[in-house]
Amino acid sequence: MNFNAIKVIYKFEMLRTWRTLMQSIASPVLSTSLYFIVFGSAIGGRIQEVDGVSYGAFIVPGLMMLTLLTQSISNASFGIFFPKFTGTIYEIMSAPISYFEILIGYVGAAATKSLIIGLITLATASLFVELHIAHPIWMLTFLVLTCVSFSLFGFIIGLWANDFEKLQVVPLLIITPLVFLGGTFYSISMLPPAWQTVTLFNPVVYLVSGFRWSFFEIADVNVYLSLFIVLAFLAICMGVVWWMFRTGYRLKS
Amino acid sequence: MSDIITIADLEKTYHSGHQALKTINLGIKNGEILALLGPNGAGKTTLISIICGLVNPSGGSVTVDGYDIIKDYRITRQLIGLVPQELTLGAFETVWDTVNLSRGLFGKKTDAAYLDQLLRDLSLHDKKYSEIRTLSGGMKRRVLIAKALSHEPKILFLDEPTAGVDVELRKDMWQIVNKLRASGVTIILTTHYIEEAEEIADRVGVIRAGELLLIEDKQRLMQKLGKKQMTIELRTAITQIPAALAEYDLELADSGEQLTYTYDTRSGQTGITRLLQDISQVGLTLKDLNTTQSSLEDIFVNLVHTE
Ligand SMILES: Nc1ncnc2c1ncn2[C@@H]1O[C@H](COP(=O)(O)OP(=O)(O)O)[C@@H](O)[C@H]1O
Ligand SMILES: [Mg+2]
């Protein structure tokens, strides 16, 4: 293992975060606050409680997931897309470093960043509502797994994208709808039965449900099923990355 | 001198179907400066990119210091530094950060003393903490060189190092190259200027359309360059070159009806007038006369024309 290389890629990526500190940290804090003002106060005033949890608290796990997913994907996809775009990737490709090590460096940094942002979001949320976490270990497990698997997913998008439009299109046209329709701001049981079935094809439902269960012990699907889906998603992403690396997809002609 | 890089039957066909390299065989000697000369699109960058791991070969093999570039990539890449053709650099990081990143990528521990000295040698030291985007084009090229040398490679590839570079940097660059060579580093550079190869290289290889047309010591190449041949057709065949014409080193061919004279266009006197006079002196009659460039000369005229 070329540990020095992993270390410098990781450090370099984290450095990029510090350079854009305001944007990296301030924007999730701001958007979380806005969500609370709009959803928590305006709508929460009418909905009040879901499954015995105040609406303000109820949306916290979903809101965190929304932040984690979008942040993981954008950090990781941009992290690898940019050197590809500017050509500076030549240096990494010509270094004595394996694809696996490149992956650890980039995905590790992206996951770390979104983990930090996730925790900041949680801290911000706790300023608005009273929170209590029933299963902290489960909570952290889902948190870390989500950061890692969606950073990996973002890495794939960054490798695949050969222009800025493609870089944006997946998060915008696929992830955002999936997250908003994935029970982020409501319980699946609030939907008509037909839609409940359709929703079960949305993987984000399992993520949000499992994560919410770790907070309040309320869930739309069994927590083990949630865990299984997250792990399956991680495995699929690993498989795709492995294939991309093996064929040198969009990296080597 | 032993070879540090051995290229055997190397081929590259891009996905587009374009064959960029056709069966390249080449040994690069330890410690030499090799100039790869060729017009745009000849395949120079492709060749370098394969050796450095940026492009997959379609066939053949390359070994560096005896190690295969694919199987033992960790060892071979460690030995190599690459200065790419384009100014591919980040924008917001500092010079110091970027050379440290490079060194780390190649698995080496940080060494501030070495990197400081490197920046000094490249006249970059006062820009140590400058962001790359604030540097001029020439300075950026120096940064690229610093990055390539950050891990103390034994082999350095310079892909068109003087393209768009001012005179001062060019002079500096050759000074750096000579210094590196003195310390035992093997240097391979590409260019499309004959003068540049002449100025700096120990050996020159000429690539055109994916083929290595020749590889030759610079001295010998320069001797060959500028050679022209004059073919003299005789009205009546002779069996042997008259003694009076011995000094011209003529060749007799075509069953005695053809004499070939080789001369140097770059020397002050080609000797043609004298030869023709001497031929009529010994009583031979000319039927026809023509001159041809050596194939080498053709190559270089072509090189210039494709510019
Ligand atoms: N990634 C690529 N895909 C397809 N063709 C390529 C690619 N890179 C280079 N080529 C083609 O291969 C040939 C050799 O290119 P290159 O090695 O860059 O030449 P040089 O460096 O001598 O100018 C050119 O015709 C070029 O268009
Ligand atoms: Mg080139």
pLDDT in tens, A78-111: 999 999 999 999 999 999 999 999 999 999 999 9
Q: What is the pLDDT of residue B135?
A: 95
Query: What average pLDDT score do residues B62-86 get?
Result: 96
CA-nearest of B133, B143, B67, B132 to B99 is B143
Taking 50 as the threshold, does the pLDDT of residue B260 lie above it? yes
Residue A197 contacts B where some CB pair is shorter than 8 Å? no
Answer whether A4 touches B (CB < 8 Å): yes
Residue B249 alpha carbon to ligand 2 centre in Å: 42
Residue A187 one-letter amino acid: S
> Residue B19 C-alpha to ligand 1 middle, in angstroms?
9
The A residues from 92 to 151 touching B (CB cutoff 8 Å) are 92-98
pLDDT at B307: 44
Contact B80, B157 (CB under 8 A): yes
Rounded CA-CA distance A184/A139 in Å is: 16
Chain B interface disruption, residue of A8, A89, A100, A104, most B CBs within 10 A: A8
Distance from CA of B18 to the nearest CA of A (A): 12
Decide if B38 contacts B188 (C-beta within 8 A): no
Residue of B nearest to A87 (CA): B88
The minimum CA-CA distance between B20 and chain A, rounded to whole Å, is: 12
For residue A250, the ligand closest to its alpha carbon is 1
Report the separation in Å between the CA atom of B46 and the middle of ligand 1, taken as the mean of its atom positions.
6
Q: What is the pLDDT of residue A91?
A: 95
Domain boundary assignment for chain A:
3-247
For chain A, helix, strand, coil in percent to 5 are 80, 0, 20
Question: CA neighbours within 13 Å on the CB side: how many for B93?
Answer: 19
What is chain B's mean pLDDT, rounded? 90
Q: Are B1 and B31 in contact (CB under 8 A)?
A: yes
Confidence band for B103, pLDDT divided at 50, 70 and 90: very high
Q: Which residue has the higher pLDDT, B113 or B294?
A: B113
User: Pick from B77, B86, B107: which is nearest to A94 by CB?
Assistant: B77
pLDDT greater than 60 at residue B235: yes
**% of chain B surpassing 90 pLDDT:** 56
Residue B44 and residue B207 in contact, taking contact as beta carbons nearer than 8 Å: yes
CB contact under 8 A, B88 and A97: no
Which residues in B lie closer than 8 A to residue A248 (C-beta atoms)? 56
Q: What local confidence, expressed as pLDDT, does residue A248 receive? A: 83
Give the residue-averaged pLDDT of B271-300: 81
Closest to A66 measured CA to CA, from A34, A40, A28, A27: A28
Q: How far apart are CA A47 and CA A61, in angstroms?
A: 17
Query: Average of pLDDT values for B60-72?
Result: 97
* Closest ligand 1 atom number to CA of residue B159: 21
Listed ranges A17-26, B277-286, B291-300; the one with the highest mean pLDDT:
B277-286
Tell me, rounded to whole angstroms, the distance of Cα B233 from its chain centroid. Answer: 38
Mean pLDDT computed over every residue of chain A: 90
- Of residues B82 and A162, more confidence is placed in B82
Mean pLDDT of A221-230: 94
Q: What is the CATH class of B3-223?
A: alpha beta
Per the CB < 8 Å rule, is B105 touching A9? Answer: yes
The set of residues, in sequence order, having a beta carbon less than 8 Å from that of B23 and lying 6+ positions away, is: B9, B10, B11, B60, B211
Q: How confident is residue B300, by pLDDT bands cut at 50, 70 and 90? A: low
List residues bridging with B81 in a β-sheet.
B156
Tens digits of residue pLDDT in B166-212: 888 888 888 889 999 999 999 999 988 877 888 889 999 999 899 99
Class of domain B227-304: alpha beta
Task: Give me the phi and psi of B287, to 5 degrees please.
Answer: -100, -40
Residue A62 has pLDDT above 80, yes or no: yes
Q: Which residues of B touch A5 (CB under 8 A)?
A: 104-107
**Chain B residues within 8 Å of chain A (Cβ atoms):** 14-15, 52-56, 73-78, 80, 82, 84, 86, 88-90, 92-93, 97, 100-102, 104-109, 147
How much distance in Å is there from the Cα of B43 to the middle of ligand 2? 7
Shortest distance between the Cα of B82 and any Cα of chain A, in A, equals: 8
Q: Cβ of B93 and A9 within 8 Å?
A: no
> What strands lie across the sheet with B258-264, from one edge to the other?
B251-253, B258-264, B227-234, B286-293
Instruction: Please check the confidence at residue B304 and state whether its pLDDT lies above 70.
Output: no
pLDDT digits (tens, 9 = 90+) for A197-209: 888 889 899 999 9
C-alpha distance from A117 to closest chain B C-alpha (Å) = 23
Q: Which residues of A touch B105 (CB under 8 A)?
A: 4-5, 8-9, 91-92, 95, 97
Mutation target for B interface from A13, A100, A246, A253: give the one with most B CBs within 10 A.
A253
**Taking CB atoms and an 8 Å limit, are B54 and A90 in contact across chains?**
yes
Residue closest by Cα to atom 18 of ligand 1: B45
Domain residue extents for chain B: 3-223, 227-304
Nearest-CB residue to B106 (from A15, A96, A252)? A96
Q: CB pairs below 8 Å between A and B: how many? A: 73
A40 has a pLDDT exceeding 70? no
Cα–Cα dist A200/A208, whole Å: 12
Say how many C-beta atoms besides its own lie within 10 A of residue A77's C-beta. 26
Residue whose structure tokens are 């000074």: B175
pTM: 0.85
Residues in contact with B64: Cβ distance below 8 Å, sequence separation at least 6, in sequence order:
B4, B5, B51, B75, B76, B79, B80, B155
- Sort strands B227-234 and B286-293 into parallel, antiparallel or unpaired: antiparallel
Residue B232 region by backbone torsions, left for phi larger than 0, else alpha for psi between -120 and 50, else beta: beta
Look at B264 and B129; give whichever has higher pLDDT: B129
Give the bridge partners for A97, in sequence order.
none
For B84, which of A8, A9, A90 is closest by C-beta distance? A90
| Residues within a 6 A CB radius of ligand 1 | A 253; B 14, 16, 18, 20, 38, 40-46
pLDDT at position B301: 64
